């Protein structure tokens, strides 16, 4: 694709801290290369803000290669921006054209309070994992290929669910701010494997209880989460989680 430069207008959410009121601030950015990533465009802007003696825009990022889930921007109304199955860090400026106005907001959900500018507190996800998203015993080293037989279909489904990077785009997109897609992915990737089987029932009960405690809403299957998920986690995981939840509720020991 042909390289080009562009001038853009950015409308970015600025908020000094958790308790203050925020507002949109407009920036003109010039000579942005179509080869830059979206975050590199923010780096350029922040360099300028720092050299002018202004507060740079705070945003989360870590790996910048689409695997950590740290980057989180609501770009022109879509979590992670316009590209399908792509994180904000992997979004490139060739998605935009000269003269565009881009509105950038933080994730909005009671479970993700804004800490500063575009950075939200996503420790609610950590607490959901701590409530049951693990196997209690040491499962040891990787064993020989077929020492522990696992159905191919289940292994595939588990692997697909394990691709979730915990970015929270599903919550950001959901009209109910439900974390069901994330939680169901974390439930599914363990529940489908023999190592995860013994704790399957308590896991789903505790993780859903924690999700509710953290102030996330309930799933009504609109499908918005699946549409924006950078890892294409399927909503069928949510149905599977409901099945496990109903069954666990009826059949746990206590």
Partner 1 sequence: MGLTGLFLITFLVIHVGLNACIFYDLPIFDPNDNGAMFNKASHFMGSTMVMRLLEIVLFAGFILHIIQGWSLELQNRQKRKQGYQVNLGNRGSKWYSRSMGILGTLIFLFLVLHISDFWIPSRITHNLPQAQYHGVEMHDMFIKMYNSFQNPVVVVLYLLGVLALAYHLFHGFHSAFRTMGVHNRKYLAMLKSLGYGFTIVVCVLFALMPIAMFLNWVSPL
Q: Given the rule CB under 6 A, which residues bind ligand SF4? A: 164-170, 181-182, 185, 229-231, 233
Q: Which does 84 bind (CB under 5 to 8 A by kind): ligand FES, partner 1, ligand SF4, none?
A: none
Piece in contact with partner 1 (CB under 8 A), picked from 28-36, 75-83, 116-124, 136-144: 75-83
Rg (CA), the chain: 20
Piece in contact with ligand FES (CB under 6 A), picked from 68-76, 109-117, 195-203, 233-241: 68-76
Q: Which two tokens stand for residue 108?
A: 């909005």
- 194 and 148 in contact (C-beta within 8 Å)? yes
Position among 45, 57, 74, 87 found at the interface with ligand FES (CB under 6 A): 87
Position among 119, 161, 224, 233 found at the interface with partner 1 (CB under 8 A): 224
Q: Which two tokens stand for residue 118?
A: 């575009």
Q: In terms of CB distance, is 87 or 234 closer to ligand FES?
A: 87
Applying CB under 6 A, does 69 fall inside the site for ligand FES? yes
Counting beta carbons within 10 angstroms of the beta carbon of residue 142, is it exposed (0 to 12), middle (13 to 18) or buried (19 or more)?
exposed
Please name which of 200, 210, 215 lies closest in space to residue 249, comparing C-alpha atoms. Answer: 200
CA distance 119 to 12: 12
Applying CB under 8 A, does 239 fall inside the site for partner 1? yes
């Amino acid at each position: 694709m042909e390289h080009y430069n562009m001038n853009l207008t950015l409308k970015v959410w600025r908020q000094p801290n958790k308790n203050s009121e925020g507002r949109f601030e407009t920036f003109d950015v010039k000579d942005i290369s179509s080869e830059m990533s979206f975050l590199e465009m923010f780096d350029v802007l922040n360099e300028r803000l720092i050299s002018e003696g202004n507060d740079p825009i705070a945003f989360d990022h870590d790996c910048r290669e689409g695997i950590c889930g740290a980057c989180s921007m609501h770009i022109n109304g879509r979590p992670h921006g316009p590209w399908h199955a792509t994180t904000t860090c992997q979004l490139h400026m060739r998605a935009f054209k000269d003269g565009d106005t881009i509105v950038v907001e933080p994730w909005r959900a009671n479970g993700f309070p804004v800490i500063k500018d575009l950075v939200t507190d996503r420790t609610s996800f950590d607490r959901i994992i701590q409530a049951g998203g693990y196997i209690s015993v040491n499962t040891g080293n990787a064993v020989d290929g077929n020492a522990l037989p696992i159905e191919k279909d289940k292994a595939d489904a588990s692997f697909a669910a394990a691709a979730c990077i915990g970015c929270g785009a599903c919550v950001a997109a959901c009209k109910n701010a439900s974390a069901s897609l994330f939680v169901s992915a974390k439930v599914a990737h363990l529940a489908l494997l023999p190592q995860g089987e013994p704790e399957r029932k308590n896991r789903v009960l505790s993780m859903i209880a924690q999700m509710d405690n953290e102030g996330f809403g309930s799933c009504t299957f609109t499908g918005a989460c699946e549409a924006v998920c950078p890892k294409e986690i399927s909503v069928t995981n949510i149905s599977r989680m409901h099945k496990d939840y109903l069954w666990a509720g009826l059949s746990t020991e206590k």
